[in-house]
Amino acid sequence: MFGMVTDFMIELLWGNKNFEYIFKPSVGQSGGLILIWDPSKFCVSGAVERDFFLGLRGRWAGKTGDSIILNVYGPHNDHLKHNFWESLENIMQVDIDDWVICGDLNEVRRRSERKNCEFIESRAKMFNDFIDKANLIEIPLGGMKFTRISDDGLKYSKLDRFLVSETCYASWEGISACTLDRDYSDHCPIVLKNTNNDFGPKPTRIFNNWLEDEKRADLIRDAWNVTIRNPRVDCIFRDKLKNVKTVLKEMCNPKYNALNAEIDLLHKEISDWENIIGTRDLTDAEITSWIDSKKKWLQKDKEKADILKQKARIKWVTDGDENSKFFHSCIKRRQNKNNIRGVNLNGLWIENPDEIKMAAFTYFKNRFSESNHRTLKIRGPLSNRLCDSEASGLEPPY
């Protein structure tokens, strides 16, 4: 098929005439690759072709900076796989931050991604090492768990996926991926989307450094102790949390936004004093100012590090040994893992937040409701007073 690609065939696939494309012919009956794009959405500045992948370099409309998209058909042979990961690492050394690698990589990352198939741990390790070295993030797939099903319907594997760079993931908010229905092929098509699903307000989060400040602790305590008049206890609890959340937002958002600027300012003051030391001796007052600036900088820098560490939910080896890039990377990966992109409801993949909320509500409602409403019925007259023998039986000797 890929040896005889025509504009007419691409138009049938694309749906209109507003497209451009490049393709790599197949070797035998497999290995053919094709990339189609809308020139009004993606302006191409170059292309790259290597064994097992085909790529484009260009710029998205409305975005600054170049991006590279690689369409991949991974090899099967162990030796070829090793060379393949190395060639991808080498090509990613160019000065481009946004990367999207997609397609059939012919490899799995863990044992759970295969069923009734041989899992080779060394191959999976090579694949995972490449992802870690390249600082790539895998976009979780919604829909089908496995993307490749053998013709006899016995073997299942997750071979198709999207890998993006951290910069690309951060610049595209709401990025998600899901599988589509599989018709004639033994692989499921996969699609990458940029949608912002709003599930409503987020729950209140408490950071440890908030409680270390007496003023903050007092504000939280005062907000919690505000009297709320409501006959329902659950509504009182809800409104108390709302009060605390409001106080925290008013108190912490401006302070945290100004924290980086304050750290930079203090760092500049320290650098200025150290530059002066190279030209003359400092007076006692100037030395005191220099030391105070260093103390304040260390305090603010530790406060920022504590926030990042708690957001990342990891334990750092040495307290105070900050690596902001590392923490931010952990936070993004955790957010990527915890984001709800959709649910599989009775075999149907849904992504609408309202439908997801209703599905969760219905599930837990059915889970915690009684199936058989059996009520006890008392027959005969019921006295509101115990007889003497029953009353004496309440206090018998043990």
Q: What confidence tens digit (pLDDT) does each residue in 41-98 have?
A: 999 999 988 888 999 999 988 888 889 999 999 988 888 898 999 889 888 888 788 8
Residue 107 domain-assigned (yes or no): yes
Last residue of one domain, picked from the residues 194, 224, 250:
194
The sign one gets for the Cα dihedral 124, 128, 130, 136 is positive
pLDDT bracket for residue 312 (50, 70, 90): low
Give whole-number Cα distances, 311 to 87, 130, 210, 305, 326, in Å. 35, 26, 14, 10, 12
- Report the distance separating Cα 122 and Cα 99, nearest Å: 26
Average pLDDT over residues 15-33: 83
Radius of gyration of the chain measured on its C-alpha atoms: 31
- Burial track 340-369 (b if 16+ CB lie within 10 A, e otherwise): ebbeeeeeebbbeeeebeebeeeeeeeeee
If asked whether residues 90 and 7 sit together in one domain, one would say: yes
Look up the domain containing 316 and give its range.
208-321
Residues 71/55, Cβ–Cβ less than 8 Å: yes
- Report the distance separating Cα 87 and Cα 49, nearest Å: 11
If asked whether residues 154 and 220 sit together in one domain, one would say: no
Residues 3/26, Cβ–Cβ less than 8 Å: yes
Interior angle at CA 43, CA 37 and CA 49, nearest 5: 65
| pLDDT for position 1 | 42
- Asked whether the predicted pLDDT for residue 113 surpasses 70, the reply is yes
Cβ burial, residue 21 (10 Å; 0-12/13-18/19+): middle
If asked whether residues 9 and 52 sit together in one domain, one would say: yes
If asked whether residues 181 and 241 sit together in one domain, one would say: no
Its pTM surpasses 0.85:
no
Higher-pLDDT residue of 22, 325: 22
Lookup: tokens for 268: 């500049």
If asked whether residues 147 and 274 sit together in one domain, one would say: no
| CATH code of the domain in which 31 resides | 3.60.10.10
Cβ burial, residue 397 (10 Å; 0-12/13-18/19+): exposed
If asked whether residues 123 and 224 sit together in one domain, one would say: no
If asked whether residues 82 and 132 sit together in one domain, one would say: yes
- Report the distance separating Cα 283 and Cα 161, nearest Å: 63
- Asked whether the predicted pLDDT for residue 346 surpasses 50, the reply is yes
If asked whether residues 134 and 243 sit together in one domain, one would say: no
Residue 386 domain-assigned (yes or no): no
Last residue of one domain, picked from the residues 300, 321, 342:
321
If asked whether residues 170 and 277 sit together in one domain, one would say: no
* Domain count across the chain: 2
Higher-pLDDT residue of 306, 49: 49
If asked whether residues 58 and 185 sit together in one domain, one would say: yes
If asked whether residues 145 and 182 sit together in one domain, one would say: yes
- Asked whether the predicted pLDDT for residue 278 surpasses 70, the reply is yes
